[in-house]
Each structure stands twice: as structure tokens, then as C-alpha cells.
Structure 1
Amino acid sequence: MKKISSSAILLSKSETNEEIYGHGRSSSSLDNTRKLQDIVKQRCRPTSHLEIGEALGVFDQVLDSNPKPPVSSFNSLLISVLGTIKKTHHQNPNLIISLFNKMNWVGGISPDDHTCSILIDCCSGMKRVGLGYGFFCSMIKRGWTVDVVALNSLINGLCKRNKVDDEAKLLDKMPQWGCKPDVVTYNTIIKGLCSLGAQQLSSLRR
């Protein structure tokens, strides 16, 4: 498959400026936003292998657009970047958090429960469980739906920190949030238990 270069898919600066600042701003700006949404859909497919540099270029243009695309476009970009970070062991796993902070700084974008799930997954990968808990609590406070994917990510982060007691507490509370543990949940907890030494396992039995 022929690789699509970032220059081939990103809107040029002149085109972007003309769309946003030129005459007939309303319709032109909407057209520009739709083009960017189409780019995100095209390049964020699982088979597209979006590279970090290209993703950041698309992200900046989406962030600068007016009106802003729906939050789902930003979520797609965050998922693609996170996927690339996991595959390539990128040296800056904090990149997802930085992009999220940029979204908040610009304004006009309302994160949703899916955004928080992505951030929790990112924090778990970085072993920053406390920050992941913060995003999780934000979901609860806002009354958003807590799904098993977000909880599995949080449990995975606890597993990496050998916090088996906390894993068990989350497992017990899952029904309160309308979540049913799945095979990923149990496999993650089993993995956590297997990573403990004999002395730690003995202390759990007590």
C-alpha cells in the first residue's frame, strides 16, 4: 500500500487561512471543519499506521479550526497516538496528557467519558495510577457512564504497581457502577497475582 505523506492529507496554511479568515467565513469554515473530520476518519483507521509527527500535525489543525469538530475527532486522534506510543515504545508517553491539556487550554471542546477512558489507559501504561484515579473520579462526579474498558485500564495500572488489594476493591465495586467484570478483568488480576512473590501472596491470605 502506498504511504500517504502528511503533506498530501493536511490542509495547506493558505487554504486554512482562506477558509477561516476569508469572505463567507461561516460556510467556508464549516467546509474546512468537515474536511478535517474526513481526514481524521481516514487516517485514524486501525490499518492506517498513523505516525506521531503526522498525528500531531492533524491534531494542531483540528485544534485551530473554527468551528471545532466534535470531541469524537479528538478522541480518534488520541487513540491513534496512544496506539503508536504502545507499539513503538515512544520516549514521551506523557504526550497524550499534553495533548489533552492543549484541548483544555484552547477551549470550546467538551471531553466525554471516552476521552477519560483514553486518559486512564494512558496513565496506566505510564504507571501513574494516581492521575488515572483522578480522571476516573472525574467520570463519576460528572455522572458519566463508567464502562468495563476504563476499569480494566485502571486495574491494569494497579497490577503494574503490585497493588493487588486495590485491584480487589475495584473489582468489588464494579457492580455499583453497573459494570460486569469480563475475561480481561480476571486475566489482569490473575497476572497481578502471578507477579507477586511467595511472601506477598502469603500476606494476602492473612
Structure 2
Amino acid sequence: MIYKCKCGSFRNVDDALDTFDKMLHMCPLPSIVEFNHMSGAIARIKHYPVVITLFKQMGLFGIAPSRPTLNTLINCFCHLNRVDFGFFVLTTILKLGYYPDSIALNTLVKGLYLQGNIAGAMKLVEDIEKKGYQLDAFTCGTILNAPCKIGKIDMAIGLLRKLEEGDFELKVVVYNTIIDSLCKDRLAIEALNLLTEMMSKGI
């Protein structure tokens, strides 16, 4: 029998845990995809420690994680302010022979920023580039969003210039982050100058 996880139908986390327990005792076991749906749904309602506990239970039942499983785990650790554990999970991804995707890398960058570790986030970005991984617009937006939020617009512009030196294409959302911050600081001329610069680059 093929099990279909009804992850959107549980009433609360206890209901979800009951469903998860039933899944663990089915024969044959549901696919890892179904377990991923369940753990992802619990993570979306911000019960991050619960997801970590369920991951451990899956291991006891011999259920091998997939890359989405590990991405969800990284996300939970980062939200719990344990980015260090997130990096341990990234090591597991590499050991299993998976290619770390933009979701895992973006989450770690964001987690470092949430800790206020801007230098660590920038170093991770540099390491990502050196290893040939492609940064996407979300990562770049995350990199610039933190200094903008704390009023360090000069730092954000400096980071933008550094990102422009890279080999990846910056999207409009990256510039929008800084333009929005400039406007909030009533620096309209600087915002218009950056808009003009974007247009000259065909963005």
C-alpha cells in the first residue's frame, strides 16, 4: 500500500506526532518523500525541536535521509540559533555524496546573519564561490538585507560592490533591498543614482 501523507490536515503538533508515529509502524514504511512532507510541515509551524527529534527517530528505524530531509534539519538548527550544528549537517550531506543545493547554502548564510556573524556569512559566500557553487538572488538578497536592517547602508553598498565583482548575475531584488533602505533613510538622490546604474547595466 502506498501511503500519502496528509500533512496539511493535522490540527496541531500532537496530531502531527501521532500521524508520524503511525507512519513509523507501517509495513512497508512510507517513502522518505512522505516523511519529508511531514517534517517540513512541522517546521513551517515553527516546532523546530520536534523536527530534530523526529529525525533521530527516523534514524533508529533505519530510514535513510535524503537531501530535502537534511535541508529541513539545517533550517531547524539555524532557527534555533545553532548554525554550528547546521554545518555538521552540511558535512553529512557531503559525506552521503549529495551536492549541497542553494537551499542549504542560503539557509546557512541566513543563519549566520541571524546570529550577527556578518564576517562568517561573507566567508561562507566566498567559500561557496571558490568551490564553484552558484549563488542565487535569494542568497545575495540575504547578504545585503542584514546590514540594511541595522542601518548600515554603507556596509550594504560595500557588499554590493563586492558581489558585483563575482561571476554570478545579480537580480533586481538585490538592488531593490538597498534602494528600499536608502529611501527609508531619506537618501532619495542616492537611491535614484543606484536605479540609474541598474538601468545602465540592463537590470
TM-score, L = length of structure 2: 0.69
Structure 1 counterpart of 2:19, from 29, 37, 58: 58
What amino acid is aligned across from residue 172 of structure 1 in structure 2?
A: E
Residue 106 of structure 1: aligned partner: 61
CA deviations 1:121-167 (Å, max 9, x no partner) are 11111111111111011111222021101111111110111111111
Q: Secondary structure at the match of 1:169?
A: helix
Letter in structure 2 aligned against 1:99:
L
Equivalence for 1:96: 51
Q: CA deviation at 1:173?
A: 2.3
CA distance in 1, matches of 2:149, 2:115: 10
The amino acid that maps onto 1:188 is T
Mapped pair 1:44 → 2:7: yes
Residues 23 and 29, structure 2, Cα contact 8 Å, conserved in 1 = yes
Q: Which residue of 1 aligns with 2:162?
A: none
Distance 1:75 1:176, change over 3 A: farther
TM-score (norm 1): 0.68
**Is 1:166 equivalent to 2:120 in the alignment?**
yes
Greater RCO between the two (CA within 8 Å, min separation 6)?
Answer: 1
1:71, distance to aligned residue in structure 2 (A): 0.8
Could you list the runs of 5+ residues in structure 1 that have no partner in the other structure?
1-30
SS state of the match for residue 45, structure 2?
Answer: helix
Counting only pairs closer than 5 Å after superposition, residues 111-126 of structure 1 correspond to structure 2 as 111-126=65-80
Query: SS where residue 97 of structure 1 aligns?
Result: helix
Matched, 1:67 2:28: yes
CA distance in 1, matches of 2:50, 2:10: 18
Mapped pair 1:76 → 2:31: no
Q: Does 1:190 align with 2:144?
A: yes
Letter in 2 for 1:98: T
Relative to 1, partners in 2 of residues 1:178 and 1:144: Cα closer, same or farther, differing over 3 Å? farther
Q: Which amino acid aligns with 1:65?
A: M
Instruction: Using the TM superposition, give the Cα deviation of residue 178 of structure 1 relative to its aligned residue in structure 2, in angstroms.
Output: 4.8
Supply the distance in 1 between the matched residues of 2:135 and 2:71 (Cα, whole angstroms): 16
Change (3 A) 1:163 1:63: same
Q: Which residue number corresponds to residue 100 of structure 2?
A: 146
Aligned 8 A contact 1:155 1:170 in 2: yes
Query: Residues 178 and 75 (structure 1 numbering): CA distance in 2 closer, same or farther, change over 3 Å?
Result: farther
Residue 175 of structure 1 and its aligned partner are, at CA, apart by 3.7
